[in-house]
Amino acid sequence: MVKRSEKAVVLFAKVVGATGAISHCIRQLREATASVGGEVVKTMGDELMAVFLAADAAAAAATRMQLAVHGLAPIGGSRLSLRVGFQAGPVIRRDGDVFGDTVNLGARLAEQATRGQILTSRQTAELLTPALRNSTRRLYSVEMKGKRNTVELCEVLWEQSADVTDMAVHEAAPASHLRLRYRGKELEAAEGGLTIGRVHECDLKVDDEHASRRHCTIEQRNGKFVVHDHSANGTYITIEGEREIVLHREDFVLRGHGWFSFGQPRDQSAESVEFFCD
């Protein structure tokens, strides 16, 4: 009997509704799991258990599961729905199954969820990249069996996050050039990177009282340009055609065309930096 310890994200999804369509729903859940590189550990009647390498993948799979079930036609006048919970942490693999406190908490999060809801813990939500974390909301703390401390619940707003799951799961393509435009002047990022902030020592000085002295840095990693926030109030990033996100001491891979603003959303800021990544 071989045991192997590892870290994983454990997801439970339970189908609620007409029993005649359970097998079709489970197939949909399997496909959603496979689409982001997850692994189905087992199915238990109307419930599926899966594991993922990252919280982003689990959130993306959960969103795709909800969308798939939501799109099914009503059966006998009632609509099927899904309750989903996922948790990140250490697990033990043995004989094709997965065990441990992380598994137990994932199952209890799914039990705690209402129909059409995705729940995770605040601890796991903090592992999500900014694009997905901005599609979560904190709820309240609950006591759970086997846990000494209460668990703070977070909900993944799957209808809001549906358009960012692909962006979060699939990495941006390599970029060879990054151009920044500010007040009519252009600056090209070099291999050594650059700094943006309020002081003259920065490579790009922005005249914005909401910007920190050394607000953020941009560097090239493995052919991608990555912005890292160092500020007190956050770096706001808008990719053209997508929802604005905010970084708090975090990294983000730049792509396409968009804008930075400093300490507040772009539509509230008089200063922004436009970027072109290609």
pLDDT digits (tens, 9 = 90+) for 124-143: 999 998 888 888 988 888 88
Q: Are residues 184 and 165 in the same domain?
A: no
End-to-end C-alpha distance for the chain, whole angstroms: 52
Residue 27, CA distances (Å) to 22, 42, 65, 76, 195 in order: 9, 12, 10, 20, 49
**Which residues are CB-contacts of 239 (< 8 A; sequence separation ≥ 6)?**
255, 256, 257, 258
Higher-confidence residue: 164 or 196?
196
Q: How far apart are CA 133 and CA 275, in angstroms?
A: 23
- Whether the pTM exceeds 0.75: the reply is no
Higher-confidence residue: 190 or 201?
201
Cα angle vertex 185, ends 183, 188, to 5°?
A: 130
Q: Are residues 59 and 158 in the same domain?
A: yes
Q: Are residues 114 and 230 in the same domain?
A: no
Q: Scanning the structure block, which residue is given the tokens 């668990």?
A: 151
pLDDT digits (tens, 9 = 90+) for 4-24: 568 899 999 999 876 667 888
How many structural domains does the chain have?
2
pLDDT of residue 2: 45
Answer for the pair 58, 38: CB distance below 8 angstroms, yes or no: yes
Q: Are residues 38 and 136 in the same domain?
A: yes
Per-residue pLDDT for 1 more than 50? no
Per-residue pLDDT for 268 more than 60? yes
**Domain CATH code at residue 149:** 3.30.70.1230
For residue 71, give its domain range: 3-169
Q: Are residues 165 and 32 in the same domain?
A: yes
pLDDT digits (tens, 9 = 90+) for 231-265: 989 999 998 888 888 888 877 888 899 999 999 99
Residue 170: band (very low, low, confident or very high) from pLDDT cuts 50, 70, 90: low
Closest CA to 232 of 209, 201, 204: 209
